[in-house]
């Protein structure tokens, strides 16, 4: 195993995440920089968007963790706030699933256009 991602709801460890789905990830340093976390998190978010369309996902990381901050941006998380916790500045972001054409208009498109 090289790491893990978690997609949980209301674990209670952050009051900012109360009642919302929260994405977390933890990977061994040997696997950093190879895209594994981005691929795994993107797959989880894609699944989540299909299962619960329109539901936001939140993520918190320390601002000092540059790699985690880049991953959050790459995944499409938008900064909601910063706060102090665990003896360091934390970054709190929100991700919203993109609205598909069939969801916004109620009409689908044929595969041929």
What is the 3-state secondary structure of 51-80? HCCCCCEEEEEECCCHHHHHHHHHHCCEEE
Nearest to 57 by CA among 68, 48, 69: 48
* Strands of the 21-27 sheet, one edge to the other: 3-9, 21-27, 57-62, 88-95, 78-85
- Say what the pTM is: 0.80
18-22, 28-32, 54-58, 105-109: range with lowest mean pLDDT: 105-109
pLDDT tens digits along 54-68: 899 999 999 999 999
Q: What percent of the chain has pLDDT over 70?
A: 81
pLDDT tens digits along 26-39: 999 999 999 999 99
Annotated domain spans of the chain: 3-105
User: In sequence order, which residues have a C-beta less than 8 Å from that of residue 14 and are 6 or more positions away?
Assistant: 22, 60, 85, 92
Distances (CA, A) of 53 to 57, 73, 89, 102: 11, 21, 31, 12
Fold (CATH) for 3-105: Aminopeptidase (3.40.630)
Identify the pLDDT of residue 108.
44
């Amino acid at each position: 195993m090289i790491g893990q991602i978690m997609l949980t709801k209301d674990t209670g460890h952050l009051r900012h995440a109360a009642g919302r789905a929260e994405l977390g990830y933890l990977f061994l340093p040997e696997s950093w920089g190879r895209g594994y976390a981005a691929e795994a998190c993107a797959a989880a978010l894609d699944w989540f968007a299909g299962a619960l369309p329109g539901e936001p996902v939140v993520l918190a990381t320390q601002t000092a963790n540059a790699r985690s901050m880049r991953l959050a941006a790459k995944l499409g998380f938008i900064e909601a706030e910063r706060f102090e916790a665990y003896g360091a500045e934390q970054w709190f972001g929100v991700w919203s699933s993109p609205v598909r054409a069939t969801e916004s208009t109620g009409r689908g498109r044929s595969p041929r256009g």
